[in-house]
Structure 1
Amino acid sequence: MAKNLGDNRNPHTSIHSDVKEYYGKRLKSTADLKSNACVPSAKPIPPYIRKALAEVHPDVSARYYGCGLVVPECLESCRVLDLGSGSGRDVYMLSHLVGEKGHITGIDMTEGQLEVARKHLDYHMQKFGYKKPNVDFVQGYIEALQEAGLHEGSYDLIISNCVVNLSPDKAKVLREAYRVLKDGGELYFSDVYSSCRLPEDLKSHKVLWGECIGGALWWEDLNQLAKEVGFSTPLLVTASVITVDNPELEKLLDGYKFVSATYRLFKVPKCPSAEKCLVMYDGNITGSEKTLEFDAQHTFKVDEVMEVGAEMGNILRCSRFASEFTFQSPGTPSSPCCAKPQAVSSNPFELVEQLWKATPSPSTGGCCSAQKTCCK
């Protein structure tokens, strides 16, 4: 918290306290939010995920404040960690998708949210027909997973839904995520990003921070942080525009733009080769039997050979997706009919415009339409 506001507390402690206050006491449901940061996913929700969401207790869903859909593919039997699990909506949805042999840990710092989540544990286990819980909830900070008792190399996958922006130390969040992931593991998360670095007066605004806007990371800084920590280059999955419907806050934010964007980062060895490679998807992933929409650039079709870059080939070989693809040796000549990645921008603000032009409908999750234009 900025010192010119007369706050002499540790800035991290101050932010944590403010967020606890905002999500534990001020917000009672999504109707209390002052922005549409908690926007729906810009991608259609597959039927098997809709079914899992429908089985989540209404009281849990009512206190959901996420900004996207954090359900990557190939989840069966995975050990998953949800950073900032809140009332547990995503934890319980994923509990159903990983199955009884998988496990989900939710970590959150807000007592009120954890109370809601734990209250409905038995309800969901009975709903899914599990003999014993495959879920646990831990109170702690997402920058301090070791202090919360989460061990190195414990998880196949980490998800986070509109929570990293609430942390005062994004670099430490990524370092801790990297530490607790297994080799080949993935951080798949949706968050809020700004069009440029925000000034201190906006970052110090309690309501803007609570609304997931004041703590938004400049999207280009994510690439640098990921590189410093050791992750692969962030893969942009999708993005949606965020608007602020409160006149006072809107005036403060004049000139700044925000998006909700979903990225996937992998903990894989450095790519040993710079050569492109050929891959073919086998079609055995639940919910992606015909096509696998891996990110905005890569959509793999069953039995179709695609030429991918060296880093993408390395990600597929070294992650949980290795058994889902057939690989040809590096250096194998590609055929003229070989599929190529889609030519889309890695800039989430430009991707929003591309998505809107391709499907000009409010249902895509964006807010740009003939009636209301927010993409300046």
Structure 2
Amino acid sequence: MADEHSARPKDFADSAVHVDVKEYYGERVKKTSDLKTNACVAPAQPIPAFVRQALTKVHPEVTDRYYGCGLVVPECLEGTRILDLGSGSGRDCYMLSQLVGEKGHVTGIDMTENQLEVARTYVDHHMQEFGYKKPNVSFVQGYIEALTEAGLEKNSFDIIISNCVVNLSPDKRRVLAEAYSVLKDGGELYFSDIYSSQRLTEEIKNHKVLWGECFGGALWWKDLLSLAEEVGFTAPRLVTANFVTVDNKELEDVLGDFKFVSATYRLFKLPKGDIKCGQVIYNGSITGAENSFQFDCRYTFKAGEVVEVDRDVASILTHSRFAEDFTFQPSGDSCGPCGVKPTAAVVDPFELALPPKKPRPGSATGGCCSTRSATCCK
């Protein structure tokens, strides 16, 4: 993982990888159909109706230049400030600008001028389409490894999203560190990306087309866990995972036995402190999730039901934008549900991507243990 920890000069500049990626997405790939694999267009989950409606209002040229690998629409967005890492042509920015409302704001940052030109061309068009008096979307040219150098203020964003872009960076640790820096306390990094079943070979990492197609720079999923901890984030919570196929014989031969998933994770920047586990009741107040709220692959909160949560989730719900959507009550357990430590909640995305098996005890309300069962899921 030497490339993940490499030091860089203060004034960030193009690496060979950045030059190749700019050329790939600025010149070689003009529309979605130009991609050689399905990695950058693989859907991670069904699209909710209100999101589909928002997408219908995005200009066709913006949508045609979309290369994401998942759905990056976290919940509870009204009035928030969002940053989109690697915003490209701006599809996600324009979709999210409708969800944050006129009082919220969405900033997109991308290093590829050709993509930004498309995004900026349609700012006025979309504001008129949405009925906004002034733009709530802006675009910045810069690197996702150097957010503050691009003029973005520290502790200024409620949410950061990224859609199949982090894998394109040669320095993932710096990407996470910069994201942590510009997030507010209680803020969230919610992102989809491509992950590998093991650390990639040098041959794969040096393959220009595989880099551009989101495979060559894919992290081994376990390395994401360690990098997030080093930077200061909470343990990554896995939301969804789906297998990604290459469907290109030449590239398949280079990749060999390596497997890949498109996975969505949520990471939070929280104040330090000892938070005990407890019981929570979802109030049903989140737009689009009035009946139930899927926090991650382990916890789905149904409105009005009592759910026992581990310390990590209790801390997140207490300190994040979700605090007003839950009622909290202590459980008297000092070590988490059924004695489960937060690290035991780590989920292998490759296992989650497999066809579903018979439901495990306690999974109905979505915790390792629910209030309906005293059996732990192991």
> Does TM, scored on the shorter chain, surpass 0.5?
yes
Structure-1 residue corresponding to 2:251? 249
Alpha-carbon shift at residue 332 of structure 1 (Å): 7.0
Structure-2 residue corresponding to 1:292? 293
Matches of 1:83 and 1:356, distance apart in 2: 35
Structure-2 residue corresponding to 1:364? none
Q: Indicate the SS of the match to 2:127.
A: helix
The code of the aligned residue for 1:320 comes to: R
Are 1:165 and 1:192, in contact at CA under 8 Å, matched by a contact in 2? Answer: yes
Q: How many residues align?
A: 342
Structure-2 residue corresponding to 1:279? 280
1:183 aligns with 2:158: no
Structure-2 residue corresponding to 1:366? none
Q: TM-score normalized by structure 1?
A: 0.87
Structure-1 residue corresponding to 2:87? 85
Specify every segment of 5 or more residues in structure 1 that has no aligned partner in the other structure, as ranges.
2-9, 359-376
Specify every segment of 5 or more residues in structure 2 that has no aligned partner in the other structure, as ranges.
4-11, 360-378
The code of the aligned residue for 1:278 comes to: Q
Alpha-carbon shift at residue 72 of structure 1 (Å): 0.2
Flag the 1:11–1:199 CA change in 2: closer, same or farther, 3 A: farther
Structure-2 residue corresponding to 1:305? 306
Equivalent residue for 1:164, pick from 159, 163, 166:
166
Structure-2 residue corresponding to 1:74? 76
Q: TM-score normalized by structure 2?
A: 0.87
Matches of 1:104 and 1:357, distance apart in 2: 41
The code of the aligned residue for 1:143 comes to: E
The code of the aligned residue for 1:97 comes to: L
1:17 aligns with 2:19: yes
Equivalent residue for 2:124, pick from 112, 122, 126:
122
Equivalent residue for 2:48, pick from 46, 49, 52:
46
Equivalent residue for 1:135, pick from 113, 134, 137:
137
Alpha-carbon shift at residue 42 of structure 1 (Å): 3.2
Flag the 1:322–1:344 CA change in 2: closer, same or farther, 3 A: closer
Are 1:195 and 1:258, in contact at CA under 8 Å, matched by a contact in 2? Answer: yes
The code of the aligned residue for 2:305 comes to: E
Question: Quick check: 302-311 or 263-272, which moved more?
Answer: 263-272
Alpha-carbon shift at residue 28 of structure 1 (Å): 1.0
Q: Indicate the SS of the match to 2:15.
A: helix
Alpha-carbon shift at residue 39 of structure 1 (Å): 3.4
1:346 aligns with 2:360: no
Matches of 1:211 and 1:11, distance apart in 2: 22
Matches of 1:26 and 1:188, distance apart in 2: 29
Structure-2 residue corresponding to 1:370? none
Alpha-carbon shift at residue 276 of structure 1 (Å): 2.2
Are 2:196 and 2:258, in contact at CA under 8 Å, matched by a contact in 1? Answer: yes
Alpha-carbon shift at residue 43 of structure 1 (Å): 2.0
Report sequence identity in percent: 66
Flag the 1:31–1:344 CA change in 2: closer, same or farther, 3 A: farther
| 1:191-239 C-alpha deviation (Å, 9 max, x unpaired) | 0000000011110110000001000000000000000000000000001
Q: Indicate the SS of the match to 2:354.
A: helix
